[in-house]
Structure 1
Amino acid sequence: MTSYLKRCIELIKMFLSAKTTATLTRRDNMTNFRRVSPKCPKCSGNQTYDILPQLPNELEDEIYLEELFYNGVSIGNTTYHCRTCNYTWKKYKGRKPYRDIKRIYCGIGGYPGPYYNVEINVDKRQVKHKTSLPEVNDIKIVGNLVTDKEIQWLLSQLYKCDLLNWAEEYFKPVLDGTSWNVRIEYSSYCEIKTGSNFFPEKWDEFTEAVSKISSGDFG
């Protein structure tokens, strides 16, 4: 079973449970979708939550799942709010974190294809673009070197897309459709963003930047 189907089943079960359990509160519904929020950098309080871009003015752990289920939901968001002092902040701030990126892997596709995968090695200035059509067993891989100026342009575009502050997962329960993933590697750790039929706000700008740097289709 694919990870996408597993996720569909997980969300559907939770949705049905929320609809059929009379004692389930609005707060309970989103709790299992929460990620651990960090301490407030202003007051060091622990009463924090991550803000849902789809419903920015409501507490994420008090949102009823049905409000988001069919329209798409993002999980593991990176904009936080402190209930104690009302301070709001993002996980990443400014351009400096983008200069720490070592590699980026991204992929997108849906049945029956095509599927696109792009690997960007920032340090070596190497870009690899892969197109695959599983139905006809056709795979095309193109690699090229890019200039330092082009890499700096890419990092600037990623900053404008707010890539590092994307949520961990974007989900909309649609069979088939389009799945995507972005893996960002640093010196000692990595971050992974994934989605199924639901996308970050700046997704189009991101795909345009990836297409341009890789000289191939992406999206």
Structure 2
Amino acid sequence: MAINHRKCTRCGSLNTMPIMYGEPSYEAFLESEQGKFKLGGCMVSPTSPEYHCRECGNEWNREDAVTHAYEQLRGMKAVVGGYPDGNYEVDIDFEERKLVWSHEEESHKIELTSSDIERLLYELKWLNILNWRAEYVEPFSMDGTSWRIEFRRDGRNLKKRGVNDFPEEWKEFCQLMRNMSGKEFR
């Protein structure tokens, strides 16, 4: 699932329209009157809104949508492993600020601070993890490393997984899990 920039960051509606900037032509003015887009004026800045919600009137840009998507995460569970090393697992509850690392029979619990969670969300956003494909699979492998990440959100959870194939940012993600847990994650 890629981040849906057109989804309202306030009410969640998809009944939205783009905002067009610049001097409108006569045809563009007529199209805006038909509700195809909203006219935003002649001046545009990097923080100018790009979308308008027809339901609640909210306006936002792509960066606001990305930030909102990461703020909706309630927790995550990441698992990686294979024969003969077994699975490494990191389960993080963002709201309770708890991390549980486990490998086979060993388990380790950590209390996180609010700043730990903020830093984690910042790093996940930097890794662009919500825009990773749902599945990475090397089709001609019989054995090797499998992994999965599940993000807990209100409503439907988001899952990513792979077998012997990884997103470009995988090594950085594993390092982040090692840094957060203080334990091995490979």
Which residue in the other structure is 1:152 paired with? 118
Instruction: Report the Cα distance in structure 1 between the residues aligned to 2:183 and 2:86, rounded to whole angstroms.
Output: 12
Normalising by structure 2, report the TM-score: 0.64
Report runs of 4+ in structure 1 exceeding 4 Å deviation: 40-43
Q: Structure 2 stretches of 5 or more lacking a match? A: 7-15, 19-61
Instruction: Report the Cα distance in structure 1 between the residues aligned to 2:131 and 2:17, rounded to whole angstroms.
Output: 19
Normalising by structure 1, report the TM-score: 0.55
Deviation for aligned residue 1:188: 1.4
Which residue in the other structure is 2:160 paired with? 193
What is the root-mean-square deviation of aligned Cα atoms in Å? 2.2
**Residue 180 (str. 1) matches residue 157 (str. 2):** no
Deviation for aligned residue 1:124: 0.4
Aligned residues: 129
Higher helix share goes to which structure? Answer: 1
Which residue in the other structure is 2:71 paired with? 99
Instruction: Report the Cα distance in structure 2 between the residues aligned to 1:163 and 1:195, rounded to whole angstroms.
Output: 14
Identity score, percent? 28
Instruction: Report the Cα distance in structure 1 between the residues aligned to 2:170 and 2:65, rounded to whole angstroms.
Output: 19
State the Cα deviation string for residues 160-195 of structure 1 (Å, max 9, x = none): 110101111000031211000000010111011010
**Residue 143 (str. 1) matches residue 109 (str. 2):** yes
State the Cα deviation string for residues 97-135 of structure 1 (Å, max 9, x = none): 111100101100011113101100000000000011xxx
Instruction: Report the Cα distance in structure 2 between the residues aligned to 1:205 and 1:145, rounded to whole angstroms.
Output: 23
Larger radius of gyration: 2
State the Cα deviation string for residues 83-104 of structure 1 (Å, max 9, x = none): xxxxxxx9x9522211110010
Q: Structure 1 stretches of 5 or more lacking a match? A: 1-34, 44-89, 133-138
Please tell me the residue identity of whatever aligns with 2:146.
Answer: S
